[in-house]
Structures are given as C-alpha cells and as structure tokens.
Amino acid sequence: MAQSRRVERVASLIRREVSELLRAGIRDERVSHGLVSITHVEVAGDLQHCRIFVSVFGSPTDRDQAMAGLQSATAFVKGELGRRLQMRRTPEVVFVLDQGIERGTSVLSLLNRLERERDSREADEAVGDTPAEEQPAP
C-alpha cells in the first residue's frame, strides 16, 4: 500500500513539474503552436518509466508539431525532473497524445446536433407541417 502511495505522489510531482516546464521551461516553438495540457501521468511501480498523457487543442498540424516538439524535448524534461525531484533515478519519460477530450467534444457536438434536429422536427409538427415523405400522394 505504501508503494502505491509513493507512486501516486511521484506521479503528482511529475505532473506539477512538467506543467511548470510547459509553461516556462520548454522553449521549442513547436510546443507553443497548440494549447498543450497534461491530462494524466502514469508511473511504473519501480519508478523507472513514466508516461505523460498530453492533450493538444488546435488543428491536426498544430497537434503533430506540438507532439514532435515534446518528443524532442524529452531529454531536457528528464534532466529537469532529475534536478527538481532529487530522486535516485529519474524515470524515462514518454509523451503520449491523449485524445479523450477530443472524443468527448465530438460526442457532445453530435448530441447537440441531434437535439437541434429533434427540436426542429417537433417545431414543424407543432405548426402542422408534415414532412414531404409523410404527405399522402395526390
């Protein structure tokens, strides 16, 4: 149990420090093309590997450029984590694109579109108009 609390605590510290690095430390222009945010950090039980899930808000090209910038900044991030966290061994860092927010946004837009269609259909029926396909043939 103490092991998992330590892993959670290290993940939280990594998330905080990498967020700070994204804000002020990484100077790669590609990272600033889209709005980059950290959604989740997974640290292995032995604290040797770390997966940082990031979400990039912007166009697909902005997303690709931001991920390329993060991949190139991996060594810098690992070095800064080693200095800031003062652990015996700094975990290997891997950035992973998290598309959960994008999927959620697309589902919400589909639901909103369906609701608008339903409302317009109900408004048409309330006025007394019937759709062309339901009108009897003369």
Q: Is the pLDDT of residue 9 over 80?
A: yes
Name the band, by pLDDT with cuts 50, 70 and 90, for residue 27.
confident
CATH class of 2-99: alpha beta
Give the pLDDT band (50/70/90) at residue 1.
very low
Residue 28 reports pLDDT greater than 60: yes
Give yes or no for a contact between 41 and 52, defined as CB atoms under 8 angstroms apart. yes
In terms of pTM, does the model score above 0.85? no
Q: How far apart are CA 52 and CA 16, in angstroms?
A: 11
Q: Model confidence over 65-119: pLDDT tens digits?
A: 989 999 999 999 999 999 998 888 889 999 999 888 778 888 888 899 999 998 8
CA distance 113 to 90: 47
